[in-house]
Structure 1
Amino acid sequence: MRSPTVALRRLTLILLAGAIALVGAPLAPAHAAGNGEWAVTPTPPKKPSPAPRQYFFLDARPGTTITDSVRIQNLTKESKTFEVYGADAYNTERDGGFGLRTKIQTHIGIGIWTKLPVEVVTVPPRRQADVPFTITVPPNATPGDHVGGIVVLEAEPKGQVERDGVNVAIQRAVAARVYLTVAGPVVPGLAVSELEAHRPTPLLPTVGDGTIDYRIENTGNTHIAPKITITSSGLFGHEVRQTTPLPQLDLIPGASVQMTGKLAGIWPVDLVKVTVEAEGSEGISASRTDRELVVAWPVLLLLLLIAAATAWWIQRRRRARRPVPRGMRNNKQLVEAR
């Protein structure tokens, strides 16, 4: 039977885990439209265009303030309460996913420039609420794109996961992205800074799979959704297939993301050539090529043994067919007779 101290300690851990989840747990992936229970979109104008806004695309000069409004739709049959705030965007280091920072993380752009009249909003069932906000651009703001979002976070955690033996509450969020362009020189830039193709050393002479690791960087001051193209081939130009779906990236300025892909059709002894190209809609592009020598050492050893045995057999045949002068043959017979 557990002692009261142990039980109290476990209860404290659970309560602390819940408190941490309320203020510091990572957000669930944010979506531009909704998650089936609530949706977040830009408030439509009084005279809506045929194509409704899915994101905020805004322009401003340094030192100015712009005003807009976000619409929160409650799609359920019960009232819902949300926390609302502005947040900076980021790309995950691995795979380049688009994310928005939590409320307690450090913000340097949209997250601190955005002000809302309320922090908590309650929306009745099957109703919607339009929440105005302002974005004040500092006088020293750098030109180019600043990316973030208006985040609508459920006020109470729903669901739990276990981490390190304790239950941690999860809060879900939905967001509308904000793309704010600050007036000034615009310099788009892309780079494929790393590329490596490799296949684990095969033990058997079979066609196998490999992987490629590459890094895409947004080196300019505009957000870029690059089109990624990967081409690959093997020894003598034989087909090596890229089997991973090509990524759909939305890179904020300064983003550097590591990507991974899979290759199929690599021979046990092969020279694999891979080229990764990233092309932006602004007419910029970047590419990088890598060549990887693949060797199945058991196969190579077998080939060397076969080559050595063949050379020895050819040499022996040549010696057997070599003509012997008649005098040498008679001398050999005399020696044998003695």
Structure 2
Amino acid sequence: MSTTPTRRKTTVAAFLRTAAVALLATSAVAGLASGPALAADGDVAWTVRTASNSYGAARSSFSYAVNPGGRVEDAMVVANRGPVPLNLAVYTADGFTTGAGQLDLLARDGKSVAVGAWVHADRGSVTIQPGKTAQVPFKISVPDNATPGDYVGGILTSLTRADQAEGINVDRRLGIRIKLRVGGELKPNLAIEDLHVTYGGKLNPFSRGDATVTYKIHNSGNAALSGQQAVSVSGPFGSLRAGAGGIAAPPELLPGESWTVTVPVRGVAPAVWLAATATLTPQLTDASGSTTPLKPVRATTHGWALPWMLALVLLVLVAALVGALRYRRRDRVRRRTREEARVRDAVEQALRGQEPQTS
């Protein structure tokens, strides 16, 4: 949120006044909507969609394969569904994955270095009369030195209105995703990092408890990737294995992005020394929308799984044993000291008994 004379909201999900509209707007930016996306608030309503041309009709988003130095021309169609004229700002921005796992776009004053910098609309604003539509052409110019791989951003329309009741400016945005795959060697790769396992036992030392496995998925390649996950926990030598079910798939991560995963594993035996294994199968989506699974990635870590009540009993027994041994040692020292004193007294008495008599 940037600071102005009045506060300004800039995120795609926050700019709308109702949850239903917020969902529509988020879907539009993510390129998930099957039809035109709608933004509406009172007497203001507009939609955005892709233009029908040689790239296709009724596309849910813009997607291109372009070589470094390549050029693309396309258009977005904006329609005014409300009863009053609309003057909308038009701009482009880089995309990123939010903490909720959704695609968002940088605010207008954010610094874009890829799609947001390579895509240029032919105008910075568009005015549309009620019931009318307007095409917003744009051009994509990929730099000659662009690194091969996937890039995601979007082209947006924006309307800022003052909310007198809350004393803020509400920035309502509606846009369409743009995905570029720059030609060259594609190196898709997901890595599992910072893998940890912790164990929570129960009072009954012989009952099974729960383990928690956490790790970070890092897209260390140059392609946008999703993935399928599997997590298991076992005792020494692979015994007493327990698996986690129903793990939600991570969002599609852009190159360089990371996603933290926390997986509970139920019914884990307190096998003292646990091995936790996370398996990740990357999923690569091509330009046609087909998904191909890649070679699985695995990582293993270890952690303690002590039956705490039994461990407490053992600790008490060890403490008692140590105490008994120390008592016996002190007792032997005391007896040795008494014996040495007795011998010393006996020697002194014997020496006094041998002293010469004087007359």
The answer to whether the 8 Å contact 1:81/1:155 transfers is no
1:89 Cα offset (Å): 1.5
Map 1:38-53 onto structure 2 (within 5 A): 38-45=46-53, 48=56, 52-53=58-59
Say whether residues 1:263 and 2:271 are aligned partners. Answer: no
- Residue identity in the other structure for 1:98: L
The answer to whether the 8 Å contact 2:68/2:144 transfers is yes
Say whether residues 1:278 and 2:300 are aligned partners. Answer: no
Residue in 2 that maps onto 1:89: 95
Residue in 1 that maps onto 2:311: 300
Greater Rg over alpha carbons, structure: 2
Residue in 1 that maps onto 2:172: 172
Say whether residues 1:144 and 2:149 are aligned partners. Answer: yes
1:200 Cα offset (Å): 5.1
The answer to whether the 8 Å contact 2:228/2:283 transfers is no
1:279 Cα offset (Å): 1.8
The answer to whether the 8 Å contact 1:202/1:268 transfers is no
What number of residue pairs does the alignment pair up? 282
1:160 Cα offset (Å): 8.5
Alignment partner of 2:242: what SS?
coil
Residue in 1 that maps onto 2:194: 194
Q: Residues 215, 158 of structure 1: CA spacing in aligned structure 2 closer, same or farther, 3 A cutoff? A: farther
1:261 Cα offset (Å): 3.1
Q: Residues 141, 308 of structure 1: CA spacing in aligned structure 2 closer, same or farther, 3 A cutoff? A: closer
Map 1:25-64 onto structure 2 (within 5 A): 25-28=10-13, 29=26, 30-32=29-31, 33=33, 34=37, 37=40, 38-45=46-53, 48=56, 52-64=58-70
Unmatched runs of 5 consecutive residues or more in structure 1: 1-15, 162-166, 310-338
Alignment partner of 2:8: what SS?
helix
- Residue identity in the other structure for 1:289: T
- Residue identity in the other structure for 2:161: E
Counterpart CA distance in 2 for 1:137 and 1:202 is 59
The answer to whether the 8 Å contact 2:201/2:208 transfers is no
1:215 Cα offset (Å): 1.5
- Percent identity over paired residues: 26
Q: Residues 261, 176 of structure 1: CA spacing in aligned structure 2 closer, same or farther, 3 A cutoff? A: farther
Q: Residues 222, 157 of structure 1: CA spacing in aligned structure 2 closer, same or farther, 3 A cutoff? A: farther
Residue in 1 that maps onto 2:126: 121
Residue 106 of structure 2, aligned match among 85, 101, 105: 101
Q: Residues 289, 175 of structure 1: CA spacing in aligned structure 2 closer, same or farther, 3 A cutoff? A: farther
Counterpart CA distance in 2 for 1:267 and 1:160 is 58
Counterpart CA distance in 1 for 2:168 and 2:204 is 47
Alignment partner of 1:108: what SS?
coil
Q: Residues 255, 201 of structure 1: CA spacing in aligned structure 2 closer, same or farther, 3 A cutoff? A: same
Computed over aligned residues only, the root mean square deviation of the Cα atoms, in angstroms, reads 3.6
Instruction: Give the TM-score normalised by structure 2.
Output: 0.65
- Residue identity in the other structure for 1:101: L
The answer to whether the 8 Å contact 1:159/1:170 transfers is no
Q: Residues 128, 63 of structure 1: CA spacing in aligned structure 2 closer, same or farther, 3 A cutoff? A: same
Counterpart CA distance in 2 for 1:202 and 1:39 is 56
Moved more, 70-79 or 126-135: 70-79
* Superposed CA offset, 1:153-181 (max 9, x none): 233256988xxxxx654423232111112
Q: Residues 153, 208 of structure 1: CA spacing in aligned structure 2 closer, same or farther, 3 A cutoff? A: farther
Counterpart CA distance in 1 for 2:213 and 2:79 is 42
Map 1:209-228 onto structure 2 (within 5 A): 209-224=210-225, 226-228=226-228
Q: Residues 278, 96 of structure 1: CA spacing in aligned structure 2 closer, same or farther, 3 A cutoff? A: farther
- Residue identity in the other structure for 2:8: A
Alignment partner of 2:171: what SS?
coil
1:240 Cα offset (Å): 4.5
1:70 Cα offset (Å): 1.3
Alignment partner of 1:70: what SS?
strand
The answer to whether the 8 Å contact 1:18/1:169 transfers is no
The answer to whether the 8 Å contact 1:69/1:130 transfers is yes
